[in-house]
Structure 1
Amino acid sequence: MSPISEHGAVLAIDQGTTNTKAVLVDPQGVVLATASAPAGLSLPRPGWAEQDADEIWASVLTAVSRCLAAAGSVEIAGLALSTQRESVAAWDRRTGKPVGPVIGWQDVRTAEWCETLPTSVSELARGRTGLRVDAMFSAPKINWLLSSLADLTDVCVGTIDSWLIWKLTGCREHLTEAGNASRTLLYDVLALDWSDELLAAFGVPGSVLPEVRASNAGFGVTSGVPGLRDGIPVVAVLADSHAAMYGQGCTEPGMIKATYGTGSSVMTPTAAFAPDQSALTSTLAWLTDEPLYALEGNIISSGAALAWTAGILGLPDVGELATLAATVPDAGGVTLVPAFSGLGAPHWDRNARATFTGMSNATTRAHLARASIDAVAHQICDITELTGTTPHCLRADGGATAADLLMQTQADLLGYPVEVANIPELSALGAAQLAHQTLNAPWPPANTPARTFTPSIDAPTRQHLRTTWSTALTAALAPGS
């Protein structure tokens, strides 16, 4: 790709679980405009989570339109994508129409099916992909979607990056990015290709899958997209958690970041692929000139736990929840374990159930709110304690980092500082950064923190709080887990 002009901007699209953001970023890393649009999430049965692929695309168009309107006249040199990861869409190659719902990453309808797979499949998947066989990842969802279709001749299947590339390029390109592919349980992260053995094990024909490309290899050009001229290159694609790590400048072992979204992702780069971790997963963070691997812990319910608690307390949003929580010095002995869809890393217990414990007649709404804040921070600690590193800080990003109480609680429970990113749209910024660098544009040093939180409690208090959490967690786990 040739260099872009001094004024060329990258339009980064960050498609998440509940909303889509569009962020226009110039070659110096300056955000020129931002906009967002909601993306609906349906919960048709307990444990099921679905979205509509057409509605996701509509949210992209709305966010892009609003962003460009706010920016005025700006030259767009390229597009970058940051997308939710394990969610799966299926569509007809001839018509471009979805042939089923998007099965969300947090959906657990395939949990029982996963448990029927032989140990040999789990071992194969762990060795080739670094992942556990779990309903979170894409292959079981793909199997479920395809099982309802009589004819697969013209079916395309992909993660959300694939769906958006398909739509952005006028239904011409069926492609996916390597980091997103690594979350499917079907992609060999050492061979850097789909694994025939894993395709057979999960009953997925290779014909339905997209071509895998490196994160900055180019993914076609725009065609027929309302509001965008034809021919704009889709320069770079990253999975959202990976894009946040890129934007945080976490590229060396010993560095660690946490993204606070609907769920949370805690990631730390590794010197090499390490598939032998029992509680954390290994993943391909991105593929450029060389692959970068990382250890990761996936939390299923973090921002979702805050939103749920706000709802049952009759509060309009998470901001009001944090305000209420700050009116008490602690949770008054109350502990929330937000296992609404079971627990992800490091417990991996899909049969765990959400619990509130420690309540008394002195418990107030504020104590329940505070317990939900604590629950998010404790879950992050459960993962960081297993990474084998004690970093000088945790680099934090995502919408929930706006809550100072949560960030202070996180620093208190970790026992080391938390540095909060200076831009909430860090996943979009990370994808834009990769795109600008691919286009040979200048880029400033890695993101600098906007706020830093240092621990304010002593070690005995910290240990008491962690022990109380561990006790409540054990009670929430399924018998025998």
Structure 2
Amino acid sequence: MSSLLLAIDQGTTSTRAMVFDTAGRAVARAQLELPQFFPRPGWVEHDPNIVWQHALQTCRAALAAPEVGGTARIAAIGVANQRETTVLWERKSGAPLAPAIVWQDRRTAERCAALATPANAALVAGRTGLVIDPYFSATKLSWLLDAVPGARERARRGELAFGTIDSFLLWRLTEGRVHATDASNAARTLLFDIHRQAWDDELLALFDIPASLLPEVRDNAGDFGVTTLFGRAIPITGMAGDQQAATVGQACFSPGDVKSTYGTGCFVVQHTGETPVASNNRLLTTVCYRLAGRTSYAIEGSIFVAGAAVQWLRDAVGLIHHAGDTEALAREVPDTGGVYLVPAFTGLGAPYWDPLARGAILGLTRDSGIREIVRAALESVCYQTRDLVDAMRADGAPPPAALRVDGGMVGNDWLMQFLADMLAVRVERPAVTETTALGAAYLAGLGAGLYAGLDEIAANWRLQKAFSPQMDEERREALYLGWHNAVRRTLSGAT
């Protein structure tokens, strides 16, 4: 019987477990929505124990599917996770000391502003490829060490462990035997030198982080230990941050390949090869993946709110009942009537990097209604993607021949067509859109020796539908100019 691969895709708003065959076909899946906690304005938290329980429950449900029939055919497990989200726990018990601080959280904005001197900014950019921003893990961890009574002293005594969600899940899966992460997740902490591929003492001192907290950094495919929680010993052989996992799932293995994921946020990643490329346009230089000790790099643009804007329309303001309603509503009007929605609910990411920006709906008239606002929310995703692609071009990257898309939003045909129109680029939707989970499975398969190399994985990629640009240039540029005018009015320095 053929081997199967179990993937855990622990995201910001849900936890999913999927089983794939080695051809990349989904065999079974299970998913649970993850509760979000907003204790103060700008704060976003998760309960690590709920994250863990949902991971267990979805894995067990997927393994129990008739098409899988238990663990007998499971060759390995791969893990993909929401990046930057920060967990601090006790080594002895595995119990978290506090809620997980989610990547969207802005509580350390003032701390980041104080740290972001020209010298510090240059140090951080040169070593990590990142910017000093609350988005990343370092200031979240430092905040926890200060906020939890006795945490700093316990950390220095070696009693505590830090990790992003991947490390926390791995610790629980291996029952405390393995404290490790992978190079792609380590690269998002502000503490990891992406050139030397090592934790950096100078950065640890800058952010006041004890080295005793840190996990071991490993390749994305390889030995991450064994779990016995599902009835028999199963090796864990793949791990990556969600966007890097999606890059693998989209088979973007050559310099110039670009993918964009539309989930809670939106993340455009362009493979740049084995030499890191510094951005002059406020994009991030990051690890794409590390295999057999060889690192491939990427340029990335991060948008904090994409699908979260649709969730806001549904849950906070009640303009829609279901996320799927948005496509029909957008089609009912020829345009937004000049309405723009800037979803800066947790600040703005690349290329603006303004943690104090706030969301706004602009251009409202008496004729504006639910349809125009819903359409404006969808359009904002495409405008933000254009911001990132234009920044990549300004950095010298060639215009992409095509943009491969994935994530929960890409089933919306209207949105994909508007994206192609706004970028003037062909948009390609694959047959399997759960590419984050698929990438985790592929990495696990590589680590378990089920694939000879990346070429074998790339051969599995299949196109489901392509969208070609149809909008004329004059209209495209007029709409985009309106977007820029709207964004300028939401920035924290705006008057």
TM-score range, shorter chain: over 0.9
Q: Who is 1:371 aligned against?
A: 376
Matched, 1:29 2:24: yes
1:52 CA drift (Å): 0.6
Q: 1:243 aligns with which of 242, 245, 249?
A: 245
1:95 CA drift (Å): 0.8
Q: 2:400 aligns with which of 391, 408, 416?
A: 391
Q: Deviations over 1:439-462 (max 9, x none)?
A: 232455142221111112111111
Q: Who is 1:98 aligned against?
A: 96
1:14 CA drift (Å): 0.4
Q: Who is 1:68 aligned against?
A: 63
Asked if the contact 1:263/1:300 (under 8 Å) is kept, the reply is yes
Matches within 5 A, 1:42-121: 42-70=37-65, 71-73=68-70, 74-117=72-115, 118-121=117-120
Matches within 5 A, 1:192-203: 192-203=197-208
1:393 CA drift (Å): 1.0
- Secondary structure of the equivalent of 2:234? coil
Counterparts of 2:434 and 2:213, CA distance in 1: 32
Matched, 1:301 2:301: no
Counterparts of 1:302 and 1:276, CA distance in 2: 23
Q: Deviations over 1:149-207 (max 9, x none)?
A: 41223111100000010000011111111100000000001111100000010000000
Asked if the contact 2:222/2:444 (under 8 Å) is kept, the reply is no
What amino acid is aligned across from residue 101 of structure 2 in structure 1? I
Q: Who is 1:468 aligned against?
A: 482
What amino acid is aligned across from residue 143 of structure 2 in structure 1? W
1:326 CA drift (Å): 1.8
Change (3 A) 1:379 1:276: closer
Matched, 1:233 2:235: yes
What amino acid is aligned across from residue 331 of structure 1 in structure 2? T
1:276 CA drift (Å): 4.4
5+ long unaligned stretches in structure 1: 1-5
Counterparts of 1:322 and 1:29, CA distance in 2: 29
Matches within 5 A, 1:282-297: 282-289=285-292, 290-297=294-301
Matched, 1:411 2:411: no
- Secondary structure of the equivalent of 1:21? strand
Q: Who is 2:135 aligned against?
A: 136
Counterparts of 2:92 and 2:60, CA distance in 1: 27
Give the stretch that moved more between structures: 210-219 or 198-207. 210-219
Matched, 1:212 2:217: yes
Q: Who is 1:458 aligned against?
A: 472
Q: Who is 1:3 aligned against?
A: none
Counterparts of 1:387 and 1:248, CA distance in 2: 19
Q: 2:447 aligns with which of 431, 435, 438?
A: 438
Asked if the contact 2:221/2:446 (under 8 Å) is kept, the reply is no
1:480 CA drift (Å): 6.0
Asked if the contact 2:166/2:181 (under 8 Å) is kept, the reply is yes
Q: Deviations over 1:375-418 (max 9, x none)?
A: 01100110011112211111100001011111111001001111
Give the stretch that moved more between structures: 212-221 or 26-35. 26-35
Asked if the contact 1:297/1:345 (under 8 Å) is kept, the reply is yes
RMSD of aligned residue pairs (Cα, Å):
1.4
Give the stretch that moved more between structures: 309-318 or 179-188. 309-318
- Secondary structure of the equivalent of 1:233? strand
Matched, 1:267 2:276: no
Matches within 5 A, 1:343-358: 343-358=348-363
Percentage identity across paired residues of the two chains: 40
| TM-score w.r.t. length of structure 1 | 0.96
What amino acid is aligned across from residue 479 of structure 1 in structure 2? G
Matches within 5 A, 1:7-26: 7-26=2-21
- Secondary structure of the equivalent of 1:385? helix
- Secondary structure of the equivalent of 1:367? helix
Counterparts of 1:88 and 1:251, CA distance in 2: 29
Asked if the contact 2:281/2:391 (under 8 Å) is kept, the reply is no
What amino acid is aligned across from residue 108 of structure 1 in structure 2? R
5+ long unaligned stretches in structure 2: none
Q: Who is 2:33 aligned against?
A: 38
What amino acid is aligned across from residue 233 of structure 2 in structure 1? G
Counterparts of 1:149 and 1:87, CA distance in 2: 21
Asked if the contact 1:310/1:321 (under 8 Å) is kept, the reply is no
Asked if the contact 1:247/1:446 (under 8 Å) is kept, the reply is no
| TM-score w.r.t. length of structure 2 | 0.93
Give the stretch that moved more between structures: 422-431 or 45-54. 422-431
Q: Which runs of 4+ in 1 moved over 4 A?
A: none
- Secondary structure of the equivalent of 2:332? coil
- Secondary structure of the equivalent of 2:226? coil
Matched, 1:420 2:466: no
Q: Deviations over 1:269-290 (max 9, x none)?
A: 1132123434101000111031
What amino acid is aligned across from residue 21 of structure 1 in structure 2? R
Counterparts of 1:325 and 1:149, CA distance in 2: 50
